[in-house]
A and B are shown apart, each in its own frame.
Chain A
């Protein structure tokens, strides 16, 4: 494998990891702060993608559509939290899983009724082709945009959580909920805000990926499992953990798919290598998770020290 290809695959891993981070950040905050397992998190990602597809069509502008999809999804998320999810905080995890699983089904059918089972969303014309980064290295320009936006959002989130009053509450809530409550943090408003932020991050991921992925009902379920792997690796409730975990998962998944078949081919007969390569690559991220949990059962960056 050439260096150019290796570099290209690193960019692919980074891009996949950053998108996973956007999903995992919201999930880890909700899980860490409200102690709430929200399986419907993936549905918010789907909502973001559908909002983007519908709004791009309505406004005729890719930028406007994506920018409007984010607050629209955040609003939908906050309404869900106010109307339904806050009733579940005091319940045990099983009730939360049941209720939010039901919510997945309800949201799927709602989206199907409103928009149909799928929506087209094409790449903006200016970003529809590849650019030559180095001689011989062509990289899709749209994926570069995703990397840039992903890094910018990660930085913004870092500043928000690390250096603002809201961020302080969030950190306090994640570290010790009861103590934060006793110190007079308005938990109700904080939870709604956190949920809104999580939904907005989902929408950024959904809207940005919409031109590259199928915008269809059920798109949130596949990616949700990987997002859970990320927050377990990173440590539940930790934004930094979600960031590191997402980049690790992105890199391991991409490199596993590329390098494992080649590596196995070096010392196994071809028919075994071609069968074992994809099988091993598909479990690579779970092996990573098992490995991390073996050495650090709380994840890499546990929020509750």
Chain B
């Protein structure tokens, strides 16, 4: 018996490489509780929907998804990543919403040659100098929406723009992204408290400054507060409010309501993008979850499609990280955003669209695509990336 056990173990250890795995294991860690939960929940729901529509498989292998809640805490995210990578030996890691949590958590995956497929956070450090072979962003570079908003404001000929963001690093980065492509005059650049509730003082100053356009980067509840108060102040008649796509998406439209009408925003995806994959996704998501998908949902769905395509191309052989990486870079899948390819830093090159909040045929508030701001747009950091 003992002999048999030893032989059996030896057989397992020495299992020849190149055999197709029997199943694929995904570690999905995201923010699933607390005030910011709706983003992670949308990513998870869409990711699971894609697998369900695929008959419970990814790349032909039965998929097992381990789901964990990072509770909006970097240290919890790190523990989850460690468990998924070291204990559960997942084949891919994905899910994180917030850059700070993702950056704290994924090094453990990199060290163990597990690929992280980012379904949202795509911060500039990992695009440039610290670009990493085990990091793939299937979403959009953190700066991209702000750059597109700046470009849109330039194209539209707004003579002056007033900028508001919270007083922290991401706030400053966002306005820097806007200014990189905006050629008009900056009326003012105002930094507010993180988590601020009342914006009456800022709105009074905006009214006095009379800018053509107002660009805000106020994620989550801050944006909801601001847009509601912007509406109450009656400023929408004279000043065009522009936001990054995630500040005007379904998860913001729901709590704000009618005050959203007419807001312009920029994103790489929209509910009404006219391609077969997107129509199929939107219909399936609405049927499954009885709500409209947000752009976060579209990213979760695409993350699953990307993994599916790569694993299919590998014929289910998951034991060579380098081969997996090449397969991901070359993966061909019908992204719900339309044309999509990876840059050499494994960040996307894609189109960015201008959207306007309006009512659809059923009277619901949704984003309507009205134009293309950037075609095949990459990021500003790729030249610092030494990877090929």
Question: Contact residues of A with B, CB < 8 Å?
Answer: 2, 4-5, 8-9, 12, 15-16, 117-123, 128-130, 138, 140, 142-143, 211-219, 222-223, 254, 257-258, 261, 274, 277-279, 281-282
A123 to B231, CA, bound (A): 9
Contacts of B198 in A (CB 8 A): 12, 16, 212-213
A215 to B231, CA, bound (A): 16
Contacts of A120 in B (CB 8 A): 254-257
Smallest CB separation, B248 vs chain A (Å): 14
A140 to B235, CA, bound (A): 10
Partner of A215, one of B204, B233, B255, B258: B255
Q: Are A12 and B204 in contact (CB under 8 A)?
A: yes
Q: Are B35 and A258 in contact (CB under 8 A)?
A: no
Contacts of B193 in A (CB 8 A): 278, 281-282
Q: Are B221 and A254 in contact (CB under 8 A)?
A: no
Of chain B, the residue at the smallest CB distance from A215 is B255
Contacts of A4 in B (CB 8 A): 208
Of chain A, the residue at the smallest CB distance from B171 is A278
Which of B80-88, B222-230, B275-283, B367-375 lies at the interface with chain A?
A: B222-230
Of chain A, the residue at the smallest CB distance from B220 is A214
Q: With an 8 A cutoff between CB atoms, is B167 at the interface?
A: yes
Q: Are B233 and A214 in contact (CB under 8 A)?
A: no
Partner of B232, one of A143, A215, A216, A257: A143
Chain B interface: which size bin?
35 or more
Smallest CB separation, B206 vs chain A (Å): 11
Contact A254-B200, Cβ < 8 Å, known A118-B38, A128-B232, A140-B233: yes
Q: Are B234 and A257 in contact (CB under 8 A)?
A: no
Q: With an 8 A cutoff between CB atoms, is B385 at the interface?
A: no
Q: With an 8 A cutoff between CB atoms, is B16 at the interface?
A: no
Smallest CB separation, A267 vs chain B (Å): 19
Q: Are B197 and A143 in contact (CB under 8 A)?
A: no
Q: With an 8 A cutoff between CB atoms, is B286 at the interface?
A: no
Q: Are B191 and A257 in contact (CB under 8 A)?
A: no
Q: With an 8 A cutoff between CB atoms, is B360 at the interface?
A: no
Contact A123-B189, Cβ < 8 Å, known A16-B198, A254-B200: no
A12 to B221, CA, bound (A): 20
Q: With an 8 A cutoff between CB atoms, is B56 at the interface?
A: no
Contacts of B208 in A (CB 8 A): 2, 4-5
Q: With an 8 A cutoff between CB atoms, is B202 at the interface?
A: yes
Q: With an 8 A cutoff between CB atoms, is B383 at the interface?
A: no
A-B contacts besides A122-B257, A214-B255, A257-B201, 20 pairs, CB < 8 Å: A5-B205, A5-B208, A8-B204, A12-B201, A117-B35, A118-B224, A118-B254, A118-B255, A120-B256, A140-B200, A140-B229, A140-B232, A212-B228, A213-B224, A214-B225, A214-B228, A216-B255, A219-B35, A219-B221, A258-B201
A122 to B231, CA, bound (A): 10
User: Which B residues, 257 to 311, have Cβ-Cβ distances below 8 Å to chain A?
Assistant: 257-259
Smallest CB separation, B236 vs chain A (Å): 10
Q: Are A213 and B228 in contact (CB under 8 A)?
A: yes
Smallest CB separation, A198 vs chain B (Å): 20
Of chain A, the residue at the smallest CB distance from B236 is A129
Partner of A121, one of B37, B190, B207, B257: B257
A120 to B364, CA, bound (A): 13
Partner of A128, one of B205, B231, B254: B231
Show 7 residue pairs from A and B whose CB-CB distance is below 8 angstroms, ordered by the A residue: A118-B224, A123-B232, A140-B234, A143-B200, A214-B224, A277-B191, A278-B190
Contacts of B229 in A (CB 8 A): 140, 212
Contacts of A216 in B (CB 8 A): 35, 221, 224, 255
Q: Are A130 and B224 in contact (CB under 8 A)?
A: no
Smallest CB separation, A239 vs chain B (Å): 23
Contacts of B167 in A (CB 8 A): 278-279, 282
A5 to B201, CA, bound (A): 9
10 nearest CB pairs, A to B: A214-B224, A218-B35, A12-B200, A130-B234, A118-B255, A120-B257, A278-B191, A214-B221, A278-B167, A140-B232
Q: Are B254 and A218 in contact (CB under 8 A)?
A: no
A144 to B228, CA, bound (A): 16
A15 to B255, CA, bound (A): 23
Of chain B, the residue at the smallest CB distance from A210 is B228
Partner of B35, one of A123, A143, A217: A217
Contacts of A15 in B (CB 8 A): 200
